[in-house]
Amino acid sequence: MATYLITGGCGFIGSHLADALLARGDGVRILDDLSTGKRENVQGTCEIILGDVADSQTVRQAMQGVDGCFHLAAVASVARSNEDWVGTHRINQTGSVNVFDAARHAKDGQPVPVVYASSAATYGACQTLPIHEDAPRNPLTAYGADKLGSELHAVVASGVHGVPTCGFRFFNVYGPRQDPSSPYSGVISIFTNRMRVGQDVTIFGDGGQTRDFVYVADVVAHLLAGMDRATGEAKVYNVCTGREITLLQLALMIRSLLDSKIAIHHGEPRAGDIRESLGDPRRATAELGVRAEITLEDGLKRLLDSL
């Protein structure tokens, strides 16, 4: 049995990871400031430390004695990262450096591995699809820039400080416990929560934009595989399905699964919205032996069953 620290473990993805670690008998410690996470997301017995990942002392204490760290704490909203540039940078990049730094001497003075969340936002508007990990990184937002910065600091952690790391560029993640309450929430959580109570939805633009939606259980499988294979090479992998769907098709699929006749409106396109997003999942399959297996329809059914 090992014990892992999950930063952001009370959030959407982190709480599913906590469930999976507890289910296989591992111990879980969480560092979270509950800014978007909720205590009730964590269902098993975990040690929860309330604190800020941007505070180096707090992170050092939280890291003491663990066998590895999953670093997920971040301002996950792209829009918020642009509104509060400096504040987000503190959390999304200084927070990552704090985690890598604390991992240097975490267990008996020795380094422990760090698996961390990056994002497809590091690619910006990629011209060549599907997007392979070696595609140019051109982030268009503060959020994407800080995620790319975190990847660069992972190289420093591995190369200079002997901390094994593994980064994951998540594409659009969905599933139970994704908070639907903010206008910045993931589109699937907004659409499912509105349509199931008879409220209409708005597609920003013509609905021809595409996304590669990946179910949260598949994301957890990638994170666990990454912890087993974190190395000094600071590898980074896409977490995606290799399938895309337009926003209009998505809205129609959710409406049909709910057997609803709710209106689907079109609004102004969202500024800076990426037109096409489709990831290439092959590197993670080849090197980590993991692939996103849950189809969008199955994932949506699981999500709807959970509501």
Q: State the residues that interact with ligand UD1 by CB under 6 A.
A: 76-78, 119-121, 171-172, 184-187, 190, 202-204, 209, 211, 247, 270, 273, 277
Q: How far is the CB of 118 from ligand NAD (least distance, A)?
A: 7
54 binds, options ligand UD1, ligand NAD, none, Cβ within 5 to 8 A by partner type: ligand NAD
Q: Which residue has 């473990």 as its token pair?
A: 9
DSSP per position, 157-175? HHHHH---EEEEEE-EEE-
Question: In terms of Cα–Cα distance, which of 132, 269, 256, 123 is closest to 208?
Answer: 269
Within residues 96-155, the interface with ligand NAD by CB under 6 A covers 117, 119
Q: How far is the CB of 214 from ligand UD1 (least distance, A)?
A: 10
Among 66, 74, 157, 236, binds ligand NAD (CB under 6 A): 74
Nearer to ligand NAD, 132 or 262 (CB): 132
Q: Is 11 in the site for ligand NAD (CB under 6 A)?
A: yes
Backbone φ and ψ for 49, nearest 5 degrees, come out as -105, 120
Q: How far is the CB of 55 from ligand UD1 (least distance, A)?
A: 23
Q: How far is the CB of 93 from ligand NAD (least distance, A)?
A: 11
Q: Is 76 in the site for ligand NAD (CB under 6 A)?
A: yes
In sequence order, the 6+-apart residues with CB closer than 8 A to the CB of 190 are: 180, 183, 201
Return the bridge partners of 238, or none.
Answer: 169
Q: How far is the CB of 120 from ligand UD1 (least distance, A)?
A: 4
Structure tokens at 130: 């599907």
Cβ(221)–Cβ(115) below 8 Å: no
DSSP per position, 222-257? HHHHHHHT-BTT-EEEEE--S--EEHHHHHHHHHHH
Structure tokens at 274: 């990426």
Q: How far is the CB of 278 from ligand UD1 (least distance, A)?
A: 10
Cβ(115)–Cβ(70) below 8 Å: yes
Q: Is 175 in the site for ligand NAD (CB under 6 A)?
A: no
Nearer to ligand UD1, 11 or 111 (CB): 11
- Contact segment (CB under 6 A) with ligand NAD among 19-27, 33-41, 249-257, 294-302 equals 33-41
Among 28, 91, 224, 290, binds ligand NAD (CB under 6 A): 91
Question: In terms of Cα–Cα distance, which of 53, 51, 31, 52 is closest to 42?
Answer: 31
Q: Is 173 in the site for ligand NAD (CB under 6 A)?
A: yes
Question: What is the total count of residues that contact ligand NAD (CB under 6 A)?
Answer: 28
The length of the chain is 307
**Residue type, position 65, single letter:** G
Tell me which residues touch ligand NAD (CB under 6 A): 8, 10-14, 31-37, 52-54, 72-76, 91, 117, 119, 170, 172-173, 186
